[in-house]
Chain A
Amino acid sequence: MSLNSNIPSGPMATKWSKHKQDSKLINPKNKRKFTVLVVGSGLAGSSAAATLSELGYKVKCFCFQDSARRAHSIAAQGGINAAKNYQNDGDSVHRLFYDTVKGGDFRAREANVHRLAEVSVNIIDQCVAQGVPFAREYGGMLANRSFGGAQVSRTFYARGQTGQQLLLGAYSALNKEIAGGGVQMFPRTEMLDLVTVDGHAKGIVTRDLVTGKIESHAGDAVLLCTGGYGNVFYLSTNAMGCNVTATWRAHRKGAFFANPCYTQIHPTCIPVSGDYQSKLTLMSESLRNDGRVWVPKNAADCGKTPDQIPEDARDYYLERKYPSFGNLAPRDISSRAAKEACDDGRGVGPGGRGVYLDFAEAIGQFGAKTIAERYGNLFDMYERITGESAYKRPMRIYPAVHYTMGGLWVDYNLMSNLPGLHVLGEANFSDHGANRLGASALMQGLADGYFVIPTTIANYLVNQKPGSITTEHPEFKKAVENCTAQTKRFLNIKGKRSVDSFHRELGLLVWDKCGMARTKEGLTEALNRIPALREEFWQNVNVPGSGDFTNPELEKAGRVADFMEFAELLCLDARHREESCGGHFRSEYQYPDGEAKRDDENFSYAAAWEYTGNFSQPTLNKEPLTFEEVHLAVRSYK
């Protein structure tokens, strides 16, 4: 099937303004007749729900947390990029666009990225107007910091809690609209299925996580703002509840899933300390502004405490390998370099899976007080988790799954191949290519929600008769029956193993075979083992309790069941992509110095997978990526 990305014609710099001009309008009186279902209340969901309501649409917004304010966007630490050039250091929309395309290893859709860079400046204006307390200089102007993959300072931040502040800003906008009656909010409500009528997304089926009630909601369009699938690895920096269910269920109803193999492993996380561990904690990339990454030059020194290792016996490997970007090399590159050092036997800490992030030089230069002002909350968090003070000895860090660039395929309007189904934020695939740069996720979530979808959704809705499909339609009944049957099935298995034990086993397998470095052989092994594990899950999982009341085990079971299916697509995509690019590193495809070797001739496309009814045999649809503005080049940070 051919995919129409609906990229506007004309020069790159004017595509978005042209598209806005060409987009349909719906008059205010008619907007009120349309209902839009927004699933998820993170940056993308909250900002979309609030803005669509401001425009006059009727909005229903759903989240599984107890409050919209708790979506996992809240945990983003470091910052948000915007091409404001307030620092006068040569930044521009074009440079942010270029950095993002290059950072994504030339696997993103140029036109989307350019639009993202354009609206980045509006996001900062919007957030400041809402009262988001960004860091400021003494003169009252906004402050900036640097992030990986850029040589300008374009990152706006609110201490180490930028995601929290941006989400609270979007949440306040959402509250304003809830108070005004434009948005109806459904917290503690999880989407279980997408309802399609004649191929159009016309509703969802949800479970009330308090009463257990399975309910239908009809709408004229559905927006999935449900985040990424990093928890397929079990251990990740995602929140415990993050899941693939909404996007996977949509995939099973026909939406194409694009580039699932592009997963981001963040270089600076607190290392794993035991098998009871439930999640990994990120230490913001902003720490690399002042921290220096190193391991001992000699494996024999790994057992020593860091103060016993003299300066000349340390290998500051990022500074050595990437002199122009140094410790601010992009995430994929920094993660792989850490893995290489540890594979080389030079890792530090338990199991040798860790590298040092050292602040001694910065503390010597600026004083501990300044460092505490910059990163105090992160140092505190590190100490609470590890029992060690990073003021006194270097942090130990190791890469961990953090973000997923893949997601449901969308066109320039953020609409999937299923008419009416729109996908925003991390849940879609479009803007980050094979690797996301730091401080760009917040930018994309808010760009999609505040500025893109409010314009583009009309292009779909204008041809729809509002309210034409109600929950009385047989497709709703069918979907409710399926969801009810799945609940019953879980409760009747009464097996021997907990949901978590299956999730942990799946996660370890996927991390091992489809993590930082992948091979055809390893992926094939994973593809053989996943169906067997899935089979065992459905035979032997133990889900206690009932479906008619709060039941966290039942919730987890539904999510893990979907990860069990999704994991296969992830590995299939990784095996089919016989090149290395960004977060997807195939050991077979590398340059002699270990850098990723792309194959532009054969793989310069987005892989959009179509569900066929058989998880092992999805159909591959390709959207060719053409580059008008940016010249394809080997991505070098040396």
Chain B
Amino acid sequence: MSQLNLHLKVWRQNGSQPGHFQDIDAPDIPDHASFLEMMDIVNERLISKGEDPVAFDHDCREGICGMCSMQINGVPHGPEKATTTCQLHMRKFRTGDTIWVEPFRARAFPVLKDLMIDRSAFDRIQQAGGFVSVRTGAPQDANALPIGKEVADAAMDAAECIGCGACVAACKNASAMLFVSAKAGQLNSLPQGQPEKDRRTLGMVRQMDKEGFGNCTNQYECEAACPKEISVRWITKLNRDYAVAAVKDAFGNTRKEAGGGD
């Protein structure tokens, strides 16, 4: 194992006040450490000097919870393909490197402190339709609904999204289309999701717009930055689903309740 001597430029910000970059030297970093463990070491040293440690979000540290973020050298989650910040290891850097560390930047993701951001907009989008309305205890036997392997595998491809927001941070318009399309696409492509497909699509897209995310201009930086390699073909599908739902909505079809007496 070897040690790296690094120089960091870290974004510091308190809530809504203006932020700035702070220069921090980070000598003697083990190359086996993860990026967040490097930040731990930096913080430990700041604390011992009586300075304010850098706040950042993190939890599982195994690339699945989606809590860690950070724009590293201008790239969400750093330079390694298909890798979250917590799974990025320092052996990917060289001694003498200067590393820029910033929060994910988007109007819909306000900075809370330093590298911590508020991604609750994603939750609100999900609440606007990202579910199947099924009551606990109501379902039939699981195997009574056969689902082809290809369909199930495709739904799983979309379902792997960890909701980290890298797609938004990578997009010059701060669009959330990759996230929303993966979430809507998983359910819209499964038989369980058909009854509410139009309602879901319209609800989620409209909430996305309301939250202040930008429009998609098909540059696909989102796909390149996604740590779970979610495909932009989900965006294509969402656009299609949205077109159908919007037309039906314009003619009043999605609002109609099923008829019937009591």
Contact among A84, A133, A281 with B155 in the assembled complex (CB-CB below 8 Å): A133
B131–A136 contact, CB under 8 A? no
Known contacts A125-B142, A500-B40; A550/B113 CB under 8 A: yes
A239–B61 contact, CB under 8 A? yes
Q: B243 in the interface, Cβ–Cβ < 8 Å?
A: no
B135–A54 contact, CB under 8 A? yes
Complex-state Cα separation, A316 to B106, whole angstroms: 53
Q: Mark A58-70, 1 if CB is under 8 A from B, else 0.
A: 0000000111111
Q: B47 in the interface, Cβ–Cβ < 8 Å?
A: yes
CB contacts (< 8 Å) of A126 on chain B: these are 134, 136-137, 139
Complex-state Cα separation, A459 to B118, whole angstroms: 40
CB contacts (< 8 Å) of A129 on chain B: these are 132, 134, 138-140, 142, 192
CB contacts (< 8 Å) of B160 on chain A: these are 159, 161, 164
Q: What bracket does the count of chain A residues touching chain B fall in? A: 35 or more
Q: B149 in the interface, Cβ–Cβ < 8 Å?
A: yes
Q: B259 in the interface, Cβ–Cβ < 8 Å?
A: no
CB contacts (< 8 Å) of B123 on chain A: these are 67-69, 175, 185, 187
Among B57, B59, B116, B145, which residue has the most Cβ atoms of chain A within 10 A?
B59
Write the nearest CB–CB distance from A377 to chain B, whole angstroms: 9
CB contacts (< 8 Å) of B135 on chain A: these are 54
Q: B247 in the interface, Cβ–Cβ < 8 Å?
A: no
Please classify the interface of chain B as helix (H, G, I), strand (E, B), loop, or mixed, using the class held by over half of its residues: loop
Write the nearest CB–CB distance from A475 to chain B, whole angstroms: 31
Known contacts A66-B118, A129-B132, A240-B61; A549/B14 CB under 8 A: yes
| Shortest Cβ distance from A159 into B: residue | B156
Q: A439 in the interface, Cβ–Cβ < 8 Å?
A: no
Q: B250 in the interface, Cβ–Cβ < 8 Å?
A: no
Write the nearest CB–CB distance from A29 to chain B, whole angstroms: 18
Contact among B15, B53, B67, B130 with A70 in the assembled complex (CB-CB below 8 Å): B67
Contact among A140, A168, A454 with B148 in the assembled complex (CB-CB below 8 Å): A140
Q: B244 in the interface, Cβ–Cβ < 8 Å?
A: no
Q: Mark B8-20, 1 if CB is under 8 A from A, else 0.
A: 0000001100000
Q: A591 in the interface, Cβ–Cβ < 8 Å?
A: no
Known contacts A66-B119, A450-B136, A552-B53; A385/B87 CB under 8 A: yes
Q: A90 in the interface, Cβ–Cβ < 8 Å?
A: no
Complex-state Cα separation, A136 to B61, whole angstroms: 29
Q: B48 in the interface, Cβ–Cβ < 8 Å?
A: yes
Q: B44 in the interface, Cβ–Cβ < 8 Å?
A: yes
A276–B40 contact, CB under 8 A? yes
Q: A532 in the interface, Cβ–Cβ < 8 Å?
A: no
Known contacts A276-B30, A381-B87; A239/B60 CB under 8 A: yes
B87–A130 contact, CB under 8 A? no
B60–A172 contact, CB under 8 A? no
Complex-state Cα separation, A471 to B91, whole angstroms: 52
CB contacts (< 8 Å) of A553 on chain B: these are 47, 53
CB contacts (< 8 Å) of A623 on chain B: these are none
Complex-state Cα separation, A385 to B84, whole angstroms: 12
Complex-state Cα separation, A176 to B132, whole angstroms: 8
Q: What bracket does the count of chain B residues touching chain A fall in? A: 35 or more
B159–A387 contact, CB under 8 A? no
Complex-state Cα separation, A92 to B253, whole angstroms: 47
CB contacts (< 8 Å) of B173 on chain A: these are none
CB contacts (< 8 Å) of A500 on chain B: these are 40, 44
Q: Mark A534-545, 1 if CB is under 8 A from B, else 0.
A: 000000001011
CB contacts (< 8 Å) of B147 on chain A: these are 136, 140
CB contacts (< 8 Å) of A239 on chain B: these are 59-61, 65
Contact among B62, B66, B156 with A158 in the assembled complex (CB-CB below 8 Å): B156
A130–B131 contact, CB under 8 A? yes
Q: B219 in the interface, Cβ–Cβ < 8 Å?
A: no
Contact among A133, A135, A176 with B131 in the assembled complex (CB-CB below 8 Å): A176
CB contacts (< 8 Å) of B186 on chain A: these are 131, 133
CB proximity to B under 8 Å, residues A96-134? 122, 124-131, 133-134
CB contacts (< 8 Å) of B4 on chain A: these are none
CB contacts (< 8 Å) of B15 on chain A: these are 549
CB contacts (< 8 Å) of A380 on chain B: these are 82
Q: B112 in the interface, Cβ–Cβ < 8 Å?
A: yes
Q: A165 in the interface, Cβ–Cβ < 8 Å?
A: yes
Q: Mark B34-54, 1 if CB is under 8 A from A, else 0.
A: 101100110010011011110
Q: A139 in the interface, Cβ–Cβ < 8 Å?
A: yes
Known contacts A67-B119, A133-B155, A500-B40; A86/B143 CB under 8 A: yes
Q: A142 in the interface, Cβ–Cβ < 8 Å?
A: yes
Contact among A142, A161, A274, A450 with B33 in the assembled complex (CB-CB below 8 Å): A274
Known contacts A72-B59, A384-B87; A135/B152 CB under 8 A: yes
Complex-state Cα separation, A133 to B15, whole angstroms: 39
B40–A278 contact, CB under 8 A? yes
Complex-state Cα separation, A86 to B141, whole angstroms: 11
B127–A274 contact, CB under 8 A? no
CB contacts (< 8 Å) of A171 on chain B: these are 126
Q: A594 in the interface, Cβ–Cβ < 8 Å?
A: no
Q: A321 in the interface, Cβ–Cβ < 8 Å?
A: no
Q: A273 in the interface, Cβ–Cβ < 8 Å?
A: yes
A176–B119 contact, CB under 8 A? no
Complex-state Cα separation, A282 to B138, whole angstroms: 35
Q: A24 in the interface, Cβ–Cβ < 8 Å?
A: no
Complex-state Cα separation, A253 to B163, whole angstroms: 37
Q: B26 in the interface, Cβ–Cβ < 8 Å?
A: no
A131-B190, A385-B34, A451-B137 given; 12 more Cβ-contact pairs under 8 Å: A51-B136, A68-B123, A69-B66, A70-B60, A70-B66, A140-B147, A173-B134, A276-B33, A277-B33, A387-B89, A454-B136, A549-B113
Q: Can you offer 7 A-B residue contacts whose CB atoms are under 8 A? A: A70-B66, A126-B139, A128-B139, A173-B131, A176-B131, A239-B65, A385-B87
